[in-house]
Amino acid sequence: MQNNASASSTEQVIPWHSIDWARAHRNVRKLQVRIAKATKEQDWRRVKALQRFLARSFAGKALAVKRVTENTGRRTPGVDGEVWSTPEVKANAMLLLKQRGYKPRPLRRVYIPKNNGKKRPLGIPTMLDRAMQALHLLALEPVAETLADRHSYGFRPERCTADAIEQCFTALSQRSSAEWVLEGDIRGCFDNISHDWLLAHIPVDKTTLRKWLKAGYMENRRLFATPAGTPQGGIISPTLANMVLDGLEAELEATFGRKRTPKAYRNKIHLVRYADDFIITGNSKELLETEVKPLVARFLATRGLELSQEKTRITHITEGFDFLGQNVRKYNGKLIIKPSRRNVKAFKDKIREILDANKATKQATLIRLLNPVVRGWANYHKAVSAKETFSAIDSWLWRRLWQWAKRRHPSKGRQWVRKKYFRTIGTRNWVFVAGTGVVLKNGKPESVRLFKASTTAIRRHRKIQGNANPFDPAMELYFEALIGLRMQDSLKDRRTLLALWRNQEGCCPVCHQKITKDTGWHCHHKVRKIDGGGDNWTNLVLLHPNCHRQVHSKR
């Protein structure tokens, strides 16, 4: 670690793998519950005091460093080129998380492609700035969850796009449901949020928040100011954006009627939002055009935002609309949700890129590259009417693979190519399968086969309750049941992992926290293989990735 990431010699450095993570999670959880309770009672002085205490606690700092060194961006440096990859560096980093003397570095500007061909700007903070944001997010998230709109689903704990799609089905599926939909699009949401509004309304340390907002960004070795917006790429940015847009649902209810009132039944106004993408249903096109749309525009204007006139449109449900990669449309009075054409095209483009970039690679390697993409795309759409789309994708992918195989052997016949790359397994013909060259314990050669999207079972998604708050002790049993059901769905085809997860009651035995799809897991051998341990489930245990490393470090 460089000089700006070195700890003071007067402070004690606690070894990273000696931290009691169960105690750290427990201490932070207690403070977060108290913050949520104070927020519900609108005791803002107590909220501020508890947030300050959490931001200065050892447990909070340890979990903040743990988060930024385990997420997907842990190997992406900021402008200083640093990453925290060793236990010693992580332990030293905890001592740097202080308010006094803290000055954030500018963001590193990068661009990622969008579906429409344009590029989305991202700001990459340094590891120290990411950890400071993660620390303050621990104190801000209980406030955000307590004040959040009921039907806001983006970047919130235990909420996902499938919840938003399920809410669309709830709001539009009945014969008496609204028939008109306002598709909202905010012009450059993250880039245009008013700094003055954030500083006036976000209950977090104002001095630190102002430093983050005014840090600027570096591009081509030049420093650019950030007069507005919050950077896409910062850990705390999605929560800030959510808090900026929270309150729209209450505005709509105050104007057009609250739930289960005659006025609400008459107007049929329902909001479904995922981050800055949202839809609003209405009883008529005139209502959405003349009353709802101006109200949304006024709400956004106070926050420095505006609707995109080109992308914001009002659509009849029989014409359908695209939302979060799905097409929502009524056919003869029946609502059907299926993968959108744009989403299918983007998936096919990704498959083409993989095939074009691996024309000469081994078949087993190609299968390992394709399987995560196909399986991930199918799992995303498995809660909607996607069976026909899955079958069409399998047929399309077979044709692409047949072209890939024939191109490798232009002088060979069709039957020769078929026997080399495709097999008959059970009742299935033309299975794209290859040997890996590894011999299993039973003496049989190991092989890998291409995952077929059509084998993914269509299962209705269990939507989260709108008022569910993960920091409310009264909802703890509800969240445990919800996490359990979702994990069982994700592990239904992996019986050994599901048995292990159930045997551990869904918890990691090291830190005693829940093992979920978001936390991830490692399969640990109690007796190492080199010491004679086997792969039977009695010798296996599921651990969080960091807990797994901690167990091995103590050996």
User: Tens digits of per-residue pLDDT, 433-447?
Assistant: 998 776 666 667 778
Beta bridge partners of 282: 180
Cβ neighbours for 142, distance < 8 A, ≥ 6 positions apart: 32, 33, 35, 36, 39, 471
pLDDT value of residue 93: 94
Q: Which two tokens stand for residue 238?
A: 């999605």
pLDDT value of residue 186: 93
| Residue 537 reports pLDDT greater than 80 | no
Residue 326 CA to residue 279 CA, distance in Å, equals 13
| Residue 2 reports pLDDT greater than 50 | no
Q: Which two tokens stand for residue 413?
A: 């016949």
Q: How far is CA 265 from the centre of its chain?
A: 34
Do 140 and 202 touch, CB atoms closer than 8 A? yes
Q: Tell me where in the chain the CATH 3.30.70.270 domain(s) lie.
A: 148-193+228-336
| Residue 9 reports pLDDT greater than 60 | no
Residue 111 CA to residue 52 CA, distance in Å, equals 35
CA-to-CA dists, residue 422 to 55, 416, 432, angstroms: 58, 10, 5
pLDDT class for 3, splitting at 50, 70, 90? very low
pLDDT value of residue 8: 45
Average pLDDT, the chain: 90
Going by the DSSP 8-state scheme, the letter that residue 335 receives in this structure is E
Cβ neighbours for 410, distance < 8 A, ≥ 6 positions apart: none
Residue 14 CA to residue 20 CA, distance in Å, equals 11
| Residue 252 reports pLDDT greater than 90 | yes
Residue 535 CA to residue 541 CA, distance in Å, equals 11
pLDDT value of residue 6: 46
Q: Which two tokens stand for residue 78?
A: 């900021």
Helix (H, G, I), strand (E, B) or coil at 1: coil
Q: Report the pLDDT averaged over residues 232-252.
A: 93
| Residue 532 reports pLDDT greater than 70 | no
Q: Report the pLDDT averaged over residues 504-509.
A: 89
Residue 81 CA to residue 126 CA, distance in Å, equals 8
Going by the DSSP 8-state scheme, the letter that residue 125 receives in this structure is -
CA-to-CA dists, residue 83 to 74, 129, 348, angstroms: 7, 12, 34
Do 121 and 232 touch, CB atoms closer than 8 A? yes
Rg (CA), the chain: 26
Instruction: Order the strands of the 334-339 sheet from edge to edge.
Output: 321-323, 326-331, 334-339
Return the number of other C-beta atoms located less than 10 Å from residue 230's C-beta. 26
What's the pLDDT tens digit per position in 328-373?
999 999 999 999 999 999 999 999 999 999 999 999 999 999 999 9
| Residue 395 reports pLDDT greater than 90 | yes
pLDDT value of residue 247: 95
| Residue 414 reports pLDDT greater than 80 | yes
| Residue 141 reports pLDDT greater than 60 | yes
Do 417 and 411 touch, CB atoms closer than 8 A? no
Q: Report the pLDDT averaged over residues 207-226.
A: 92
Instruction: Return the CATH number of the domain spanning residue range 148-193+228-336.
Output: 3.30.70.270
pLDDT value of residue 539: 81
Do 70 and 545 touch, CB atoms closer than 8 A? yes
